[in-house]
């Protein structure tokens, strides 16, 4: 459901209704919804006959949707005292690439930090990124959060850093945080590619 | 002490099946792990392992056949491995095997990271 003009402009920029769109979804994120997504994309990504790419796509997709589930500022009550994040995911399959976009509302200041964080991740080489992941996981072990706080690093590692983050203002306090991950369908035919 | 068994359920494919045997000390976690609240799922496993190790068994063999886990599950898996490490020098023979697909280098690196982070020996085996 398109709820306001700003969201509409955002969706329009993604060519939401273009022929490359395999599916898009806006709403609450939970594992029930995730299972429906996976069942829908499985036949498509299986048809590439590339098991390495298949695994990578699935992993990134789960991390992106869980990122919304844990961290979106749009929260919906689903059971007695349980809340889940809501947001938007878009999955495109064009000639050469698979492209995921996820979008959720964040506090503006938090969003600006996340953009800087993404830039930092992209500037690290592979081994430094692995070290950074271990260091961050070690720090978060001491907190009570459900997430591990290393999803973006993991996505960067899996996708060979084909990740971009953007922020679109919503109002004076909030913004849309958008993550795009791109996979070249002609790569990853070997595990170490 | 009772065994801990969580069977495979087609409706909850996001959580692995579990079979911890108190008779043999052989403990298996198999499947995928990307539940919404991993702490809820893994805390009983960690508690069972702790209780079992407190009985001073001669050995414990933990077998991971987890083919995918999300980053929030990784925190709980770390807790389990760290728990086992804390009992390593208490005359319990602890062995951990981790099976992974040969085409899944991301998983291989995840296990290598667990080894580096915890200092625990994990035998990496191709599925």
ipTM comes to 0.88
Q: How confident is the model at residue A95 (pLDDT cuts 50, 70, 90)?
A: confident
Q: Answer whether B97's CB lies under 8 Å from B125's CB.
A: yes
Of these ranges, A38-42, A46-50, A86-90, A142-146, the one predicted with the greatest mean pLDDT is A86-90
The verdict on a CB contact (< 8 Å) between A137 and B74 is yes
Rounded CA-CA distance B3/B22 in Å is 5
Closest chain B CA to residue A63: B70
pLDDT computed for residue A19 by the predictor: 80
Question: Does the beta carbon of B43 lie under 8 angstroms from any beta carbon of chain A?
Answer: no
Mean pLDDT of A82-91: 88
pLDDT higher than threshold 70 for residue A5: no
What rounded mean pLDDT belongs to chain A?
85
What rounded mean pLDDT belongs to chain B?
94
CB pairs under 8 A between A and B: 77
Mean pLDDT of B12-20: 95
Rounded CA-CA distance B36/B47 in Å is 20
pLDDT higher than threshold 70 for residue A90: yes
Q: How many CB atoms lie within 10 A of CB B102?
A: 10
pLDDT higher than threshold 70 for residue A186: yes
pLDDT higher than threshold 70 for residue A122: yes
Closest chain B CA to residue A189: B103
The verdict on a CB contact (< 8 Å) between B71 and A154 is yes
- List CB contacts (< 8 A) between B117 and chain A: 134, 137-138
Ramachandran category for residue A112: left, alpha or beta (phi over 0 → left; psi -120 to 50 → alpha):
alpha
pLDDT computed for residue A36 by the predictor: 86
Question: Does the beta carbon of A137 lie under 8 angstroms from any beta carbon of chain B?
Answer: yes
Mean pLDDT of B34-60: 95
Mean pLDDT of B67-78: 93
pLDDT computed for residue A49 by the predictor: 86
Q: How confident is the model at residue A41 (pLDDT cuts 50, 70, 90)?
A: confident
Q: Answer whether A52's CB lies under 8 Å from B100's CB.
A: no
Place of tokens 């085996």: B125
Residues 6+ apart with CB under 8 A from B116: A134
Q: Answer whether A133's CB lies under 8 Å from A99's CB.
A: no
pLDDT computed for residue A146 by the predictor: 64
Of these ranges, A8-12, A33-37, B106-110, the one predicted with the greatest mean pLDDT is B106-110
Q: How confident is the model at residue A141 (pLDDT cuts 50, 70, 90)?
A: low
Question: Does the beta carbon of B104 lie under 8 angstroms from any beta carbon of chain A?
Answer: yes
Angle at A183 between CA A178 and CA A188, to 5 degrees: 150
The verdict on a CB contact (< 8 Å) between A84 and B103 is no
Q: Assign A154 to helix, strand or coil.
A: helix
- Residue A114 main-chain phi, psi, to 5 deg: -65, -35
Mutation target for B interface from A62, A63, A78, A193: give the one with most B CBs within 10 A. Answer: A62
- Between positions 76 and 135 of A, the ones with CB within 8 A of B are 84, 130, 133-134
Token digits for A56?
């990578």
Residues 6+ apart with CB under 8 A from A18: A92
pLDDT higher than threshold 50 for residue A1: no
In A29-119, at which residue ranges do the beta strands (DSSP E only) sit?
75-77, 83-93, 97-107
The verdict on a CB contact (< 8 Å) between B104 and A133 is no
Question: Does the beta carbon of A39 lie under 8 angstroms from any beta carbon of chain B?
Answer: no
Name which residue leads in pLDDT, A192 or B39.
B39
Q: Answer whether A56's CB lies under 8 Å from A158's CB.
A: yes
The verdict on a CB contact (< 8 Å) between B75 and A141 is yes
Mutation target for B interface from A33, A59, A78, A138: give the one with most B CBs within 10 A. Answer: A59
Q: CB-CB: which of A51, A147, A192 is closest to B72?
A: A147
Rounded CA-CA distance B16/A106 in Å is 32
pTM over cut 0.90: no
């Amino acid at each position: 459901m398109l709820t306001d003009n700003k969201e509409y402009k955002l969706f329009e920029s993604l060519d939401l209704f273009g022929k490359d769109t395999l599916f898009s979804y806006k709403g609450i994120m939970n594992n029930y919804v995730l299972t429906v997504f996976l069942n829908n994309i499985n036949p498509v990504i299986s048809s590439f006959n590339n098991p390495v790419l298949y695994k990578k796509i699935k992993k990134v997709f789960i991390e992106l949707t869980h990122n919304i589930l844990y961290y979106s500022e749009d929260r919906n009550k689903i059971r007695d005292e349980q809340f889940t994040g809501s947001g938007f995911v878009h999955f495109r399959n064009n000639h050469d690439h698979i492209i995921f976009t996820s979008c959720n509302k964040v506090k503006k200041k938090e969003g600006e930090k996340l953009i800087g964080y993404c830039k930092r991740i992209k500037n690290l080489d592979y081994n430094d990124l692995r070290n950074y992941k271990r260091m961050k996981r070690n720090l978060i072990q001491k907190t009570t959060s459900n997430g591990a706080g290393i999803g973006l690093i993991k996505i960067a590692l899996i996708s060979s850093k084909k990740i971009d983050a953007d922020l679109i203002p919503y109002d004076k306090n909030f913004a849309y945080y958008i993550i795009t991950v791109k996979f070249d369908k002609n790569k990853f035919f070997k595990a170490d590619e | 002490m009772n065994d801990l068994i969580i069977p495979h359920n087609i409706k909850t494919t996001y959580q692995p099946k579990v079979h911890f045997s108190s008779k043999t000390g052989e403990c298996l976690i198999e499947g995928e792990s990307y539940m919404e609240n991993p702490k809820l799922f893994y805390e009983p496993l960690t508690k069972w392992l702790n209780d079992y190790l407190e009985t001073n068994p001669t050995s414990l063999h933990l077998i991971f056949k987890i083919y995918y886990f999300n980053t929030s599950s990784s925190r709980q898996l770390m807790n389990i491995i760290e728990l086992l490490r804390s009992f390593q020098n208490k005359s319990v023979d602890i062995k951990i095997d981790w099976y992974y697909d040969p085409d899944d280098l991301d998983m291989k690196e995840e296990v290598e990271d667990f080894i580096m982070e915890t200092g625990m020996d994990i035998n990496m085996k191709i599925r």
